[in-house]
Each structure stands twice: as structure tokens, then as C-alpha cells.
Amino acid sequence: MNRILIIDDDEDLCELISEYLSPEGFEIKTVHEGERGLQKALTEAVDLIILDVMLPKKNGFDVLRELRQTSKVPVLMLTARGDDMERIVGLESGADDYLAKPFNPRELLARIRAILRRVYSVDEGDPAFEKINVDDLEISMSARSAKREGEDLNLTSVEFDLLTALIKDAGRIVKKEDLSRKVLERDLSPFDRSLDMHISNLRKKLGKRSGEDEERIKTIRSVGYIYTVL
């Protein structure tokens, strides 16, 4: 049973989400303010966090930033409909995905399941693919971690999946539509900038190769991205 922590001050919404998700096999815990939510997230074992932006005592962005200092637990952020800035800040702070209020519970369930599949599924049938070494990067599939020169890059689940998807096709263009379906498990929307934001965050964490000025991941305008090879 997957354990979900909801941090949202809307008690009615928390109750509705709990009533919808519990029969789907999820164990739900709720907290209605930011500081207590952060403490619970740091001290209790949870598989996913649903985090609202507007919270008393400590807002969702601050909760997420502090959480990401020590935890990689996946976070689905709830934002205001039409507020692109909230979505951008949330993704830059380390959110795995976002959903605008009000939302359809079916969409919430689909996003949750997609995130959990990304984070907790491991291809154990291909031991040769357990470790990937590219340039100065070392990637562990089972640990879902990436290191540069031995230093952990602290990638989110989405960033890790984007990196591995691009590296598998290193030197070749990967279309944005294909990345969205494979990593985010949804069709690419013309107004959804989440993929671009995740790629931007990934670039920052990867940094440039020693002695090189070019980015490791290049944008092919209106097409997609390519992980460059030397």
C-alpha cells in the first residue's frame, strides 16, 4: 500500500481526496499547515506528497525547498489555475509534477500512478543496464541516482528519467512529444512548459563538461533535445 501525505489547508478538499484515493489502495495522511507538514514529510515514511502552494505558517515553495535539501520523495504540487509562475517556481524548486486547482480526481489519480511508476519501477531483467557511464557521469538504475565525478547530483525522479531517456539515445534527437509520453506519461500540451522546466533544471545540475563550453543537452528548436557526445 502506497503512503501519501497531503499538505493542504483546505480540509474539505483533503477529505475528498482521501475518500477518492483510499479505495484505490492508498494510505492517506493529511496535514493542514506548512511547518507541520514539512516535519511529517521528513520524519515519516511516505511514498508521495501532494503539496499545496498556499499554506499557513510556511508556504508550499518553502516546504519543497527545505524538503529537497535532504529528501528525494516525489512531490505533486497543487497550483492555482492559470498561474504559470506558480508552476515554474514549483518545478524549479524540485516538484515532480503539478496539477492546477480545481482538478478532476481521475486526473489526480493518473498523475499519482505515473509518478509512482517512474520512481519505484526497476528493470531487473537487464543487469547489464544497471550501471551507465557516460563522460564523467555514473548512473545507477536501481538506486535511481546519478553522480558527476563521484558527487551525487540529487536529481528528482523526472530529471533522472529524462537523463536516462536522453542518454539511451545519445547523439540522436529525442522529440519532445516522445519524452512527454515516456517520462510524464501524457501527451504534450502546447501550453505545458513543465518538460522545458525539468530539462532546464537538469542542465543546471549536470553542468558543463570539463573544458567544454557547450551544454550537454542541446535544444533542437521546435523538435526536441539531444544529449551531445564527444
pLDDT digits (tens, 9 = 90+) for 164-188: 999 988 889 999 999 999 998 888 8
| Start-to-end CA span in the chain (Å) | 45
Cα 113 to Cα 97: distance, rounded to the nearest angstrom: 12
Q: Name the range with the highest mean pLDDT among 26-40, 113-127, 146-160, 169-183.
A: 26-40
Tell me what pLDDT residue 179 has. Answer: 93
* From the candidate CATH numbers 3.40.50.2300, 3.40.50.300, 3.30.420.40, 3.20.20.60, the one assigned to the domain spanning 2-120: 3.40.50.2300
Alpha carbon 217 to chain centroid, angstroms: 18
Cα 67 to Cα 44: distance, rounded to the nearest angstrom: 12
Cα 41 to Cα 158: distance, rounded to the nearest angstrom: 19
Write down the pTM of the prediction.
Answer: 0.78
Tell me what pLDDT residue 121 has. Answer: 65
Q: Kindly report which listed range (27-36, 91-100, 126-135) carries the lowest average pLDDT score.
A: 126-135
pLDDT at 49 over 90: yes
Mean pLDDT of the chain: 89
Q: Hey, which residues does 11 pair with through a beta bridge?
A: none
Tell me what pLDDT residue 66 has. Answer: 95
Tell me what pLDDT residue 129 has. Answer: 52
Cα 194 to Cα 110: distance, rounded to the nearest angstrom: 17
Read off the pLDDT of residues 59-72 as tens digits, 9 standing for 90 and up.
999 999 999 999 98
Give the DSSP H/E element, type plus range, for residue 111: helix 105-120
Class for the domain spanning 127-227: mainly alpha
Instruction: Please state, for a pLDDT cut of 90, what percent of the chain lies above it.
Output: 60
Tell me what pLDDT residue 214 has. Answer: 82
Residue spans of the domains in the chain: they are: 2-120, 127-227
Tell me what pLDDT residue 134 has. Answer: 83
